Amino acid sequence: MQDKVVRANLTRMIREERLFDKRDHVLVAVSGGQDSLHVLRWLTDNSLPADIQPIVSAAYINHQLRTDADAEQALVERVFAQTPNLASKTIRQLTWDAVPTTGVEELAREKRYEALVAIAREVGANAIVTAHHKGDQVETILYKLARGSRLTQLLGMAKKQQLQGDIDLIRPVLQLDKAMLGQLVNEPLVEWVEDYTNADETFARNRMRHTVVPALEEINEQTKDHVIAFADQLAALQKLASGSINVHVKALEDGRLDWRVDESVLLLVLQTWLTKKHVFAVKDSQLTQAIQLMRNPNVNRGFIDLGNGLQLERFENYLLLSRKE
């Protein structure tokens, strides 16, 4: 696809989905990698139409977990110095009470976003922009499918979502292949850092990227497009079903839910109810236990431990979420 077509399609999508416009101030989350550097250059090289050109700031978070962290930070400092039209540029180093040895990716992500939200508020930005692309989206969907996530999580990442209060998270290039990001910029990148941990297949996401997705593409080279289409169809079905599911949720809250309906329906109802309460780390096996508890005609009181100090509690016809005493 020609560069001008890629840019025109992206511009149209930004307008149609109202991702950002000239009234917005976005903070670009920058690493030393090609993806975020392409997005930073695209947003600052005066190639966007004036009506959707936001104010742009940039931030780099040094996790201080990799041996090349200092070299990457030095590269980003050079990039920031050479990038025009930046309202502000921030480099922040994370500190750790103890360097994590397990769950490193998730812990780093959590601390990174906490820092980005803080920086966004400091500089007056109302949105954080990341460089997640189509490949990242496919990996996310397949990874969550493999882990047994909720149906709503199989929709993948949203192009725009509320991150925290007054700060949005925007992924404007989510529809583009990684190879297409270079088509957005007027001048090609001359330097970047390859994160060596991305090649480490002890991390599940890296195995997905380097082994699983290529194997699927050997079966069908359009695998990525088909996975995205699948997620889009799920999103459409969710919209159609949301009204009915919410009726069942209201019945659950009122203590009049018919627990004889199909278990798969009840799982969706319970997942939706718990999501409303901002409870996400619940296994289907725990929800199945709750369904069995509510279906048991011989008891009117019982508990299901959810962990993290939470429990599901049956009280007569009601299923309640409570804290363990």
Binding residues: 31-36
Backbone angles phi, psi at 302, to 5 degrees: -175, 170
Give the whole-angstrom CA distance, residue 46 versus residue 44: 6
Sequence-ordered strand ranges (E) for the chain = 25-30, 55-62, 89-93, 127-129, 160-164, 167-170, 301-307, 310-315, 318-323
> From the annotation, which residues make up the binding site for ATP?
31-36
Q: In the structure encoding, which two tokens stand for residue 190, read together?
A: 């001359």
DSSP of 282-315, one letter per residue? --HHHHHHHHHHHH-TT-SEEEEEEETTEEEEEE
Torsion of CA 65, 68, 73, 76, to 10 degrees: -120
How much is the CA Rg of the chain, to the nearest whole Å? 23
Q: Are 290 and 304 in contact (CB under 8 A)?
A: yes
Q: In what order do the strands lie in the sheet with 318-323?
A: 301-307, 310-315, 318-323
Q: Are 94 and 112 in contact (CB under 8 A)?
A: yes
In one-letter notation, the amino acid at residue 123 is: V
**For residue 169, what are the β-bridge partners?**
128, 161
Q: Are 172 and 10 in contact (CB under 8 A)?
A: yes
